[in-house]
């Protein structure tokens, strides 16, 4: 039986969430993979219901996997049951139900689990929230007016965190707080796998692009992998065939776990589902008179043999070949895993963290075997010549930065390491308020050495007065030692190693605005201003009539030190990057869909000409354009909003059945070529009706939305 008691770390985080909701209407729960986020948000929901802070709780998830939904519903009943019933006080809603869902948002808590899954503008989650006047930017008047709280939950909220820091840097209103879930005792995650050398590159022990079949076989036969499940996701069919052939040559079982073929179950619940399906099928095909107790026991035993699961050790060493599965959310039993191999074609760090790597994180017993993890070389590469040397995986476990390569990332540069480091700008003007110390155009003469000397003296006096205040909090101990050396010399001597930037009229306005933003944030301007040469100190002085911002009399000091900045003092663009603003956490409306012909609307902001439904070659050409144009980032399907279906010509698409037709072949071939799973939903027809010349399709959808997920429609056809 699952343990539905709340652990101490979950209760602590839940208390912090409840406290955060007293001053915010939006909270992000950031939890490491498999560290206990489900219990945490259920604990918070329970506390908020009991305290009367909210009257109802909704749990939304952008997944469509039936097993995940079943588990979420069971967890809701286990953690938050309604006394005397088998139901929960938490209503669980998964993506297939979003379109027909109405939320009563007044005094509601809306939990968005795995919020990274459905985070693009215009997608189903965005549509659901928009219908109710809700946005996830951190500035939502509707939520405030209705006393509605939103709790976003993810182990990889990189797009949301990046958008949040961009919003804060721009001084935009932000009604959003972050709560970190600290893992409990016994947690073993990415940091521990790295520390213990349990993570290697996919080229380190076995380079599939170069290895011979005997070399592959020797790797698979390693003693530490014997009598264990070993899970592999390879990047192409050539590697898959090589693994299969090498494994079979040395007596290792090979099983598949894909969207179309499941030779085993991952969890006990999934196994029960498959066993029940097999037994039910046997019962439908067997006369009632023959369904004795012995018959049923034999059928159940065979079904259990047909569906092994990872919670029990295999009878022989087994390789499990993956495709489009185990990318997020699922809890994987780990006691009998030898190694996992993630050589996905995707280069996104959040996808890699959520996939096999994240599935191996969790709570292990003392002394238990920890699986080896093999990942693409790029995610482990460090940057020795950069200011931030951390690899993508090291950035993923840091509290001071996020990976650079994530879904909806606009890309970010890495600052090259330099000999001198620019420190956060310090505001001096509180000490320059009397007339003697006020800068005016009367005194301004950039070439006047006496004027410049007097200006620097005033700045040095102000700096010395600030030395023991919070103005220097962003500086490291080593940097402060250099600051003290600079300030210990006389103003006259120090002035030879300093210079002034005069802010007059409209000069350097863009630079100045960025500088004052960095001063307010306590971060350096590195990356905004490249440093090839620098003095010890730069003073920035604002004059009467300056149109670039600030106030006349403001002055700033920027130190340059040999010692590097503290991580939190580096400019946010190098630590948190920026998004493409196509995610739901940045302001702005989702683009309007494109209309083609008579009401043909594509939810992906793209469309198809009507002629292509009678011409398979034209359809293949036009549909391939959609999947490769880049426009699909705003959606994941095409559908006809006027008729409710597309009408295809049977002859043109060699339609024999829903499984055998040219449309299926086209979608599979295009999907394989671009790394997407394409799903065709056929229009349900009345019983007994067979169309002679046409067939109808309600929707054609594709991953990633989320990446690699199996799409399961709720309405059978």
| pLDDT tens-digit readout, 437-463 | 454 444 455 556 777 788 888 888 888
Domain boundary residue, one of 184, 205, 230: 184
Residues 214, 363 share a domain: yes
**CB count, 10 Å around CB of 112?**
26
Q: Which residues pair with 648 in a beta bridge?
A: 695
Let me know: does 607 contact 640? Beta carbons within 8 Å: no
Q: Is residue 624, in this structure, part of any structural domain at all? A: yes
**CB count, 10 Å around CB of 2?**
10
Please report which confidence band the pLDDT of residue 493 belongs to, taking 50, 70 and 90 as the band edges: low
Domain total for the chain? 4
11 or 323: which leads in pLDDT: 11
In CATH, what number is assigned to the domain containing residue 24? 3.40.50.300
Please report which confidence band the pLDDT of residue 416 belongs to, taking 50, 70 and 90 as the band edges: low
Arithmetic mean of pLDDT, 613-623 = 83
Arithmetic mean of pLDDT, 108-121 = 94
In CATH, what number is assigned to the domain containing residue 217? 3.40.50
Q: Quote the pLDDT of residue 488.
A: 87
Residues 555-612: pLDDT tens digits? 999 998 888 887 766 777 888 989 999 999 998 654 333 333 333 333 333 456 777 8
Q: Which residues of 373-387 are buried (b: 16+ CB within 10 A; e: fewer)?
A: bbbbeebbeebeeeb
Arithmetic mean of pLDDT, 530-541 = 72
Q: How many CA atoms does the CB half-sphere of 265 hold within 13 Å?
A: 21
Distance of alpha carbon 94 from alpha carbon 706, whole angstroms? 13
Question: Would the pLDDT of 182 be above 50?
Answer: yes
- H/E stretch holding 492 reads helix 491-495
Residues 159, 43 share a domain: yes
Q: Is residue 46, in this structure, part of any structural domain at all? A: yes
Q: Quote the pLDDT of residue 95.
A: 92
Distance of alpha carbon 441 from alpha carbon 504, whole angstroms? 8
CA-angle at 263, arms to 262 and 269, nearest 5°: 70
Sign of CA dihedral 501, 503, 507, 511: positive
Please report which confidence band the pLDDT of residue 716 belongs to, taking 50, 70 and 90 as the band edges: very low
Residues 482, 364 share a domain: no
Q: How many CA atoms does the CB half-sphere of 160 hold within 13 Å?
A: 29
Spatial CA neighbour of 320 closest among 343, 303, 337, 299: 337
Sign of CA dihedral 707, 576, 186, 114: negative
Q: Is residue 711, in this structure, part of any structural domain at all? A: no
Domain boundary residue, one of 380, 412, 439: 380
Question: Would the pLDDT of 40 be above 90?
Answer: yes
Q: Is residue 296, in this structure, part of any structural domain at all? A: no
Residues 504, 443 share a domain: yes
Residues 314-341: pLDDT tens digits? 999 999 999 878 877 788 999 999 999 9
How confident is the prediction for the chain on average, in pLDDT?
Answer: 85
Q: Residue 630: which residues within 8 A CB-CB, separation 6 or more?
A: none
Let me know: does 610 contact 647? Beta carbons within 8 Å: no
Residues 209, 151 share a domain: no
Question: Would the pLDDT of 244 be above 90?
Answer: yes
Residues 211, 334 share a domain: yes
Question: φ, ψ for residue 262 (rounded to 5)?
Answer: -130, 100
Residues 448, 335 share a domain: no
Q: Quote the pLDDT of residue 529.
A: 45
Print the domain residue range for 698.
Answer: 595-702
Distance of alpha carbon 215 from alpha carbon 212, whole angstroms? 5
Q: Is residue 288, in this structure, part of any structural domain at all? A: no
Q: Is residue 279, in this structure, part of any structural domain at all? A: no
Distance of alpha carbon 480 from alpha carbon 623, whole angstroms? 61
Q: Which of 227-231, 410-414, 639-643, 712-716 is the most confident on average?
A: 227-231
Q: Quote the pLDDT of residue 412.
A: 65
Question: Would the pLDDT of 714 be above 50?
Answer: no
Let me know: does 519 contact 557? Beta carbons within 8 Å: no
Q: Is residue 409, in this structure, part of any structural domain at all? A: no
Residues 290-317: pLDDT tens digits? 999 999 999 999 988 988 999 999 999 9
- Cα 641 to Cα 125, 521, 595, 638, 644: the distances in Å are 19, 48, 10, 9, 5
Question: Would the pLDDT of 630 be above 50?
Answer: no
- Cα 341 to Cα 204, 376, 391, 509: the distances in Å are 12, 9, 19, 52
Residues 565, 431 share a domain: yes
Domain boundary residue, one of 514, 535, 570: 570
Distance of alpha carbon 607 from alpha carbon 638, whole angstroms? 7
Arithmetic mean of pLDDT, 46-74 = 92
Sign of CA dihedral 503, 507, 509, 515: negative
Please report which confidence band the pLDDT of residue 627 belongs to, taking 50, 70 and 90 as the band edges: confident
Residues 553, 437 share a domain: yes
Residues 116, 68 share a domain: yes
Arithmetic mean of pLDDT, 67-75 = 88
To 10 degrees, what angle do helices 66-79 and 37-50 make? 40
Question: Would the pLDDT of 532 be above 70?
Answer: no
Distance of alpha carbon 715 from alpha carbon 681, whole angstroms? 10
Q: Quote the pLDDT of residue 683.
A: 86
Q: How many CA atoms does the CB half-sphere of 18 hold within 13 Å?
A: 20
Let me know: does 179 contact 28? Beta carbons within 8 Å: yes
Residues 226, 130 share a domain: no
Q: Is residue 691, in this structure, part of any structural domain at all? A: yes
What the block records as the tokens of 49 is 């219901």
Residues 197, 145 share a domain: no
């Amino acid at each position: 039986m699952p343990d539905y008691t709340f652990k101490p770390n979950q209760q602590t985080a839940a208390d912090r969430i409840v406290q955060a909701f007293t001053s915010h209407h939006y909270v992000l729960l950031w939890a490491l993979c498999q560290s206990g986020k489900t219990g945490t948000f259920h604990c918070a929901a329970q506390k908020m219901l009991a305290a009367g802070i909210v009257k109802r709780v909704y749990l939304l998830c952008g997944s469509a996997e039936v097993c995940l939904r079943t588990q979420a519903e069971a967890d809701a009943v286990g953690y938050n049951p309604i006394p005397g019933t088998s139901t929960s006080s938490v209503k669980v809603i998964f993506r297939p139900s979003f379109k027909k869902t109405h939320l009563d948002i007044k005094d509601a808590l809306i939990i968005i689990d795995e919020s990274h899954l459905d985070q693009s503008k215009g997608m189903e989650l965005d549509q659901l929230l928009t219908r109710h006047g809700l946005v996830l930017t951190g500035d939502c008047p509707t939520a405030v007016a209705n006393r509605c709280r939103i709790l976003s939950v993810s182990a990889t909220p990189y797009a949301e965190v990046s958008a949040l820091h961009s919003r804060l840097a721009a001084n935009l209103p932000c009604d959003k707080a972050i709560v970190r879930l600290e893992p409990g005792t016994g947690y073993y995650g990415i940091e521990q796998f790295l520390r213990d050398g349990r993570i290697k590159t996919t080229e380190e022990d076995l380079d599939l692009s170069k290895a011979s079949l005997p070399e592959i076989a020797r790797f698979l036969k390693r003693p530490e992998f014997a009598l264990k499940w070993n899970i592999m996701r390879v990047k192409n069919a050539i590697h898959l065939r090589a693994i299969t052939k090498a494994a079979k040559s040395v007596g290792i079982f090979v099983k598949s776990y894909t969207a179309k073929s499941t030779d085993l179950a991952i969890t006990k619940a999934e196994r029960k589902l498959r066993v029940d399906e097999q037994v039910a099928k046997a019962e439908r095909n067997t006369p009632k008179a023959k369904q004795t107790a012995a018959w049923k026991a034999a059928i159940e035993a065979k079904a259990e043999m047909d569906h092994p699961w990872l919670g029990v050790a295999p009878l022989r060493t087994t390789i499990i070949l993956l495709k489009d599965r185990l990318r997020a959310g699922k809890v994987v039993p780990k006691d009998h895993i030898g190694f996992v191999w993630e050589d996905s074609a995707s280069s996104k760090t959040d996808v890699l963290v959520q996939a096999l790597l994240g599935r191996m994180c969790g709570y292990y017993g003392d002394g238990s075997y920890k699986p080896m993890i093999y990942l693409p070389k790029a995610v482990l590469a460090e940057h020795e010549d950069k200011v931030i040397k951390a690899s993508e995986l090291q950035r993923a476990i840091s509290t001071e930065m996020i990976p650079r390569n994530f879904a909806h990332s606009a890309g970010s540069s890495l600052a090259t390491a330099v000999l001198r480091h620019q420190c956060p700008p310090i505001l001096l003007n509180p000490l320059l308020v009397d007339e003697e110390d006020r800068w005016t155009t009367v005194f301004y003469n950039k070439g006047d050495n006496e004027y410049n000397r007097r200006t620097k003296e005033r700045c040095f006096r102000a700096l010395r007065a600030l030395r023991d205040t919070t103005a220097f909090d962003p500086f490291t101990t080593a940097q402060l030692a250099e600051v003290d050396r600079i300030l210990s010399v006389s103003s006259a001597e120090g002035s030879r190693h300093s210079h002034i930037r005069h802010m007059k009229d409209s000069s350097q306005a863009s630079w100045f605005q960025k500088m004052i933003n960095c001063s307010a944030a306590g971060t350096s301007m590195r990356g905004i201003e490249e440093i090839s040469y620098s003095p010890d100190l730069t003073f920035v002085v604002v004059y009467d009539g300056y149109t670039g911002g600030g106030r006349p009399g403001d002055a700033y000091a920027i130190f340059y030190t040999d010692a590097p900045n503290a991580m939190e003092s580096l400019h946010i663009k190098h630590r948190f990057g920026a998004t493409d603003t196509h995610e739901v956490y940045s302001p702005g409306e989702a683009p309007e869909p494109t209309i083609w012909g008579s009401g043909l609307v594509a939810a992906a902001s793209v469309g198809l000409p009507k002629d292509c439904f009678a011409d398979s070659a034209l359809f293949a050409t036009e549909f391939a354009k959609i999947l490769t144009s880049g426009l699909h980032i705003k959606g994941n399907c095409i559908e006809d909003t006027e008729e409710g279906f597309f009408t295809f010509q049977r002859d043109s698409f060699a339609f024999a059945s829903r499984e055998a037709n040219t449309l299926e072949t086209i979608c599979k071939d295009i999907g394989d070529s671009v790394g997407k799973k394409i799903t065709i939903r056929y229009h349900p027809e009345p019983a007994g009706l067979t169309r002679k010349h046409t067939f109808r399709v309600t929707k054609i959808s594709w991953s990633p939305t989320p990446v690699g997920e199996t799409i399961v429609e709720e309405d059978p056809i």
